């Protein structure tokens, strides 16, 4: 036998149905929340050529690697880069008798290679994490003066091409308050600015043409990526 619902029973069913719908909405992420703080993985490569006059040698230097990072809101009008991790920062060096056309490979007696990376904000206190044989500390940089840097140095014998691979290295850089910015909007001018994520890497080379003669060069590889 079917009994008709009382008013109280009908009210109870309505409340339960409402609660079930509300919990379903809370449990299902909206497209906006699912897309919040997207993360990316981008490779980079930069090459520079330097003439070393005292040993009459042309050095071609290439910096490459992979940058992992995310983008998060910063205030009402801006976004910033977060979760920065530099993986496998590689330095390659080729030695030639001159720069430009017609150059020929020139063997060096030995080469000392040092690379160091840091936040483009030039911070002296940002947290940087990396494993051995790399080191972390406050020291001088080419573009920023004194900064917190992750650094690795290695030495090589006679050759015309050198590679410091660091294939298992990951350098993590902690999030910074309000920086580095991905994009910003100036309400006064109406201008919308988009910024790359810069990855400065200082390269210091000491090249020996013989056992008793050497010269040093220092340059910043201005790597950059964007989503």
More confident residue, 74 or 97: 97
- Read off the pLDDT of each residue in 153-180 and give the average, rounded to a whole number: 96
Alpha-carbon distance of 79 to 64, in angstroms, equals 26
**pLDDT tens digits along 83-128:** 999 999 999 999 999 999 999 999 999 999 999 999 999 999 999 9
- How many Cβ atoms from other residues are within 10 Å of residue 181's Cβ? 16
List phi, psi (to 5°) of 96. Answer: -135, 165
Q: What is the mean pLDDT of the chain?
A: 87
| Predicted pLDDT of residue 34 | 35
- Read off the pLDDT of each residue in 16-38 and give the average, rounded to a whole number: 45
For the cut 70, the answer to whether the pLDDT of residue 35 exceeds it is no
- Read off the pLDDT of each residue in 22-47 and give the average, rounded to a whole number: 64
Nearest to 135 by CA among 102, 169, 101: 169
Task: Tell me the pLDDT band of 47, cut-offs 50, 70 and 90.
Answer: very high
For the cut 90, the answer to whether the pLDDT of residue 156 exceeds it is yes
More confident residue, 190 or 30: 190
More confident residue, 157 or 20: 157
| Predicted pLDDT of residue 115 | 98
Distance linking the first and last C-alpha atoms of the chain? 66
Alpha-carbon distance of 113 to 105, in angstroms, equals 19
CB-based contact 41:68 (threshold 8 Å): yes
pTM: 0.81
- Read off the pLDDT of each residue in 163-182 and give the average, rounded to a whole number: 95
Task: Tokens for 212, please give them.
Answer: 């008793």
**pLDDT tens digits along 192-215:** 789 999 999 999 999 999 999 999
In sequence order, what are the residues at sequence separation of 6 or more whose Cβ sits closer than 8 angstroms to the Cβ of residue 30?
A: none
| Predicted pLDDT of residue 25 | 37
Q: What is the DSSP string of the chain?
A: -PPPPPHHHHHHHHHHHHHHHHHHHHHSPPHHHHTSS-EEEEEEEEEEEEEEGGGTEEEEEEEEEEEEEEEEEETTTEEEEEEEEEEEEEEEEEEESSSSTT--B--BSEEEEEEEE--TT--SS--EE--TT-EEEEEEETTTEEEEEEEEEEEE-SBSEEEE--TT-EEEE--BTTBSEEEEEETTTTEEEE--EEEEEEEEEEEEEETTEEEEEEEEEEEEE--
């Amino acid at each position: 036998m079917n009994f008709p619902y009382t008013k109280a029973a009908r009210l109870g069913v309505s409340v339960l149905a409402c609660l079930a719908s509300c919990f379903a909405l809370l449990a299902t992420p909206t497209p906006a929340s699912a897309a919040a703080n997207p993360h990316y993985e981008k490779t980079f490569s930069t090459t520079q050529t330097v003439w070393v006059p005292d040993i009459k040698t042309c050095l071609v230097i290439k910096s490459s690697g992979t940058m992992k990072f995310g983008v998060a809101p910063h205030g009402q009008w801006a976004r910033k880069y977060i979760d920065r991790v530099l993986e496998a920062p590689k330095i390659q060096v080729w030695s030639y008798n001159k720069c430009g056309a017609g150059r020929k490979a020139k063997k060096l007696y030995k080469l000392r290679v040092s690379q160091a990376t840091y936040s483009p904000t030039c911070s002296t206190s940002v947290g940087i994490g990396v494993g051995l044989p790399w080191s972390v500390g406050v020291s001088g940089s080419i573009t920023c003066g004194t900064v917190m840097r992750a650094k690795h140095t290695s030495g090589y014998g006679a050759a015309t091409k050198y590679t410091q691979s660091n294939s298992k290295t990951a350098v993590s850089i902690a999030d910074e308050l309000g920086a580095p910015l991905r994009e910003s909007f100036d309400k006064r001018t109406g201008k919308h600015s988009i910024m790359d994520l810069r990855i400065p890497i200082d390269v210091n080379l000491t090249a020996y043409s013989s056992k008793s003669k050497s010269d040093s060069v220092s340059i910043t590889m201005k790597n950059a990526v964007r989503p």
